[in-house]
Amino acid sequence: MGAVVECSALTKFYGRNRGVEDVTLVVEAGTTFGFLGPNGAGKTTTIRCLLGMLKPTSGESRVFGERVTLDGAALRGRIGYVAGDVRLFERETGAWHIDYIARLRGAPAPSATELIDRLEFDPSRKVRELSKGNKQKLALIVGLMHDPELLILDEPTSGLDPLNQETVFEIVGERVARGATLFLSSHILSEVERVCERVGIVRAGHLVAEEDVSDLIAKHLRDVSVTFAGPVPAGALDGIEGLTDVTPSGDVTLSARIRGDAIDTLVKRLAAHELADLTIAHAKLEDVFREYYVHEAEVDA
């Protein structure tokens, strides 16, 4: 396996404003890499540098072993890109876009019909008549219809309903199973965990961590809210390692935050009590950053 995507000390400033700074990462062929970070962290800037749309201020990026330049047309022929902020020709139809991109690529699009069917997209309608979700579908179709070797997807499920999100992940999973490499940018933790093997976490323009998704899952932060059938039993949640921020809310409800695999201990403990309600939700990405990466950075410093 060789590296398909490489960034070496990649830095991009827009005037005085930082896009990304000193980002170094490697994505091996046939693997799935999640680029995780909040909005404005520098994910899209990194992707645009990889596609040769932006000229790095310093550092470099390589795709398929070749240095990315502003005029790297041949490289882009092997990449399927779906932009996060989908922009299309408003006065043209979906069918026109599909035909236009196919002509630009100089080859018929083998998967176009299949993708149209699976995403239940109507290509006869003009883009200006489409909802955000349908525009996203069209962007996915034109990005994936050539069965590219490298998929660069920037927030690909933005605006899609859960059913279509499911279909997109199925399609992406199939492409990866056939040997494609995936570079998925997202600010949704669960999305990256679901699709990717490895994840790079970017924050304020810096790559603050890079690790296997299994390690990230072990670090899971969840927000828990327990409503007991009666008054909160004394010591109900005492002694559970990884449980923090336990806060009563009224007489019957407790909320708390739990880390990693302590969820199993928590559920077993709660099973001994009669519950009226139980909510367990992934903590916000920012909270994960705060809990792990900011803290780790402070310790390192």
Partner 1 sequence: MSWTVLAATLRQRRWSLLWYSLGLVFYSWVMVWFWPQFQGTEYVDIIERLPEELIALMGSSGADLGTLGGYFETEYLGLMWMLIVSSAVILYAMKAVAAEVSAGTMELVLAQPISRVRFIVTRVVGLVIVSAILTGATFAPIQLFGPRYDIELTGETFALLYGLGMLFVLSIGGISLALSAGAREAGRPTAIVGGALGGMWILHILAEVSDIAGWFEPFNLLKYWRPADIINDGAVAAEVWWVYGGVTVASIAVAIVRFVRRDVA
* Contacting residues toward partner 1, per CB under 8 A: 48, 51-55, 70-71, 73-77, 79, 81, 83, 85, 87-89, 91-92, 100-101, 103-106, 142-143
71 or 238: whose CB is closer to partner 1? 71
Six-digit token pair at 116? Answer: 């149209």
Tell me how far, at minimum, the Cβ of 197 lies from partner 1, in Å: 25
151 or 285: whose CB is closer to partner 1? 151
Tell me how far, at minimum, the Cβ of 84 lies from partner 1, in Å: 10
- Amino acid, single-letter form, for residue 176: V
Taking Cα atoms as reference points, which of 243, 199, 242, 239 lies closest to residue 217? 199
67 or 290: whose CB is closer to partner 1? 67
Helices (H), the chain: 43-50, 73-76, 94-105, 112-118, 132-144, 162-177, 189-195, 213-218, 262-270, 285-288, 295-300
Tell me how far, at minimum, the Cβ of 153 lies from partner 1, in Å: 12
16 or 87: whose CB is closer to partner 1? 87
Six-digit token pair at 223? Answer: 């927000």
CA pair distance 39, 127, nearest whole angstrom: 26
85 or 274: whose CB is closer to partner 1? 85
Six-digit token pair at 5? Answer: 């995507």
Residues 6 or more apart whose Cβ sits within 8 Å of residue 15: none
Tell me how far, at minimum, the Cβ of 91 lies from partner 1, in Å: 7
Three-state SS at 31: coil
CA pair distance 185, 156, nearest whole angstrom: 8
Tell me how far, at minimum, the Cβ of 15 lies from partner 1, in Å: 11
